[in-house]
Amino acid sequence: MTASLDGRIAIVTGAAKGMGAEICVALAREGAHLALAAREVAPLE
């Protein structure tokens, strides 16, 4: 990513696995604060 996301908030649905999980990793690396949503809580922990 080219822009810094420091201090920005991202809401990610489908965050437990697959593409959603990878998006979470990328956003976190760029400094974003994350709000995660998934059908099951266990994979998010």
- Dump pLDDT digits (tens) for 4-38: 899 999 999 999 999 999 999 999 999 999 999 99
CA distance 17 to 20: 6
Question: Would you state the pLDDT for residue 8?
Answer: 96
Q: Which residue has the higher pLDDT, 1 or 38?
A: 38
Q: What is the mean pLDDT of residues 33-44?
A: 94
Question: Quick check: helix, strand or coil at residue 18?
Answer: helix
Contacts of residue 25, defined as CB under 8 A and 6 or more positions apart, other chains included, come to none
Handedness of CA 28, 30, 33, 36 (dihedral sign): negative
CB distance 3 to 27 below 8 Å:
no
Whole-model pTM: value is: 0.82
Question: Would you state the pLDDT for residue 1?
Answer: 52
CA distance 37 to 31: 19
